[in-house]
Structure 1
Amino acid sequence: MSTDDYIVDPLRDFEVREHAKTLRRALGWADADRVDPLSLEPATELWTIRGKRPFKLELAADAEMSGESGLTTYDGTKILVKIPRRIRQKAFMGDGYARFTIAHELGHASLHLDKLMLGAALPRRLAGNTLPKWIPKFKSAEHQANIFGAALLINDATARRLSSPEEISVQAGVSLTAARIYFEQVQEDLARPTAAARVQKIADEARAALAPKPSIAPIAFLNDPCSCCGQQKLFPVGHKFMCQACDTVYDRFQDGDGVE
């Protein structure tokens, strides 16, 4: 069975990127600024989230894949990534779209083994895949493969020092679309701590506003009435007395003396 997209096990974007980094490490690409997906042509196995599995990157005649740039299937014994010769030639020449197409299909191979073993065929359409709106991104095979492909080709440490998708595209040799996908993810990552700090500040202010006010101990008034207003509202303040009712301040007298 073949369709443009499938519901797959849910993965958040950062989880997909971490899986791509795992494959980079498995292939010895961890620190490479520019990688060559065609170097997998002689490979016989590939890291997947289910462990290493038999694998083949296979060329197909252009006529056989006239409407597709790439296709990932499971033939009963191995994961098979097929690309037409035109894509292979363009990738060899450094074309960003062709390089990303192979990385995209490697995303399907690494992430979606369960679906492939059930008979799914995961193509990359030459005219672009139709993505049903009812499939959420975190469950979309195509969305996950796009995120994976960008993270596989792009050195995270290097790209985070660059200031635009255009710079990333040139540095990593990927399509501008792939570079934009990656750049948007990086911007979200960088903004997340700031947003979290803002949310925390709002929460702290709300808790402070709702917290019960500390109780104030009642003032102990003297038995003597205020000679100014006559109310019994005198209390000691330092070495003097003050009337809470009229704010009159009196000197403190010696023991036994009254307040005048």
Structure 2
Amino acid sequence: MSDDYKVDGLSNAQVRALAKRSRAYLRFSEADFIDVLALEQVDHIWTVHGPKPFRLEAVSDSELLTDSGLTTFDGVHILTRVRRSVRRDALLGHGYPRFTYAHELGHATLHPRHLLQGASMPRRRQGNTKFNWIPSFQSAEHQAMVFAAAFLINDETARNLSTADDVAIRYGLSLEAARIYFEQLLEEIERPLSAERVRRMADEFKAIVGGNESGKRTISFLDDPCLSCGQKELFPVNGSRYMCRACERVYDRYQDGDQAG
């Protein structure tokens, strides 16, 4: 049994979208605070490979000595087992067991191919070991963590919360999971604003290089190549930002940790 598996790559945004699709399939779309024990009544779930038979059961703590939850394939169902003590705490609304249920559902939803091939995907009681050789976007554990947060959180409510701490407290998440979710939410809100900034940069670029020959401004290009197209046609616009004349990519900074605008 491994602590982590290398799986098909998914961005955080893609995982979140899949979690919302799972919510919709299970008719939780409008729920603010999901009752995770309702998953015990579910006999099919939606997965990235289509609907699959599913079973969730609580077992004695002695059957899962080192794990809070474990997802496998029993030959018919994608099977998730949780410790009875975890179920009891979930019944009381505690955060860790709620996240355990959603975390294991994440494995069942995102990684059925690996499960059907014999993989066992646990949530360790002492925390799962993550391997440095597995990038986050290909880590089964990372994906399950992002999925669990997105599955448990109602976006409309979360948009009215101020910090990752607020999200973690309201939905019973680890601060790390809440931070990833909150940063992703802010990115989605910010994206249209970023697009507008890029459009302004492009307009400024056209103003600089457009017009007739006598009206053109002199452009001072950097000696460094563009990290996107490789052409040495980078010039400064709007303070510390740079644009490539060849491909029109905009950088917030250059060299010391490039970030596209």
TM-score class normalised by the smaller sequence: 0.7 to 0.9
Partner of 1:213: 212
**Identical-residue share of aligned pairs (%):** 50
Tell me the number of residue pairs that the alignment of Structure 1 and Structure 2 aligns.
215
Q: Aligned to 1:11, what secondary structure does the other structure show?
A: coil
Partner of 2:13: 14
Q: Are the equivalent residues in 1 in contact too, given 2:23–2:151 (CA < 8 A)?
A: yes
The CA deviation string for residues 204-260 of structure 1, in whole angstroms up to 9 with x for no partner, is 3234323363558xxxxxxxxxxxxxxxxxxxxxxxxxxxxxxxxxxxxxxxxxxxx
Partner of 2:81: 82
Partner of 1:172: 171
Q: Aligned to 2:15, what secondary structure does the other structure show?
A: helix
Q: Does 1:161 align with 2:160?
A: yes
**Counterpart Cα distance in 2 of 1:78 and 1:14:** 28
Q: Aligned to 1:41, what secondary structure does the other structure show?
A: helix
**Counterpart Cα distance in 1 of 2:177 and 2:98:** 10
Q: Aligned to 1:73, what secondary structure does the other structure show?
A: strand
**Counterpart Cα distance in 2 of 1:133 and 1:188:** 26
Residues 58-207 of structure 1 aligned to structure 2 (within 5 Å): 58-207=57-206
Partner of 1:25: 24
Gaps of 5+ in 1: 217-260
The CA deviation string for residues 29-85 of structure 1, in whole angstroms up to 9 with x for no partner, is 111110111111122211112121111102121122121111111111110111111
Which letter maps to 2:182? Answer: F
Whose radius of gyration is greater, 1 or 2?
1
**Counterpart Cα distance in 1 of 2:195 and 2:202:** 10
Give me the TM-score of the superposition, normalised by structure 2.
Answer: 0.76
Structure 1: which 4+ aligned runs deviate by more than 4 Å? Answer: none
Partner of 1:222: none
**Counterpart Cα distance in 1 of 2:41 and 2:205:** 61
- Over the residues paired in the alignment, what is the CA RMSD in angstroms? 1.8
**1:174 deviation in Å?**
3.6
Q: Are the equivalent residues in 1 in contact too, given 2:96–2:172 (CA < 8 A)?
A: no
Give me the TM-score of the superposition, normalised by structure 1.
Answer: 0.77
**Counterpart Cα distance in 2 of 1:29 and 1:6:** 28
The CA deviation string for residues 163-188 of structure 1, in whole angstroms up to 9 with x for no partner, is 12232234334444433332122122
Which letter maps to 2:100? Answer: T
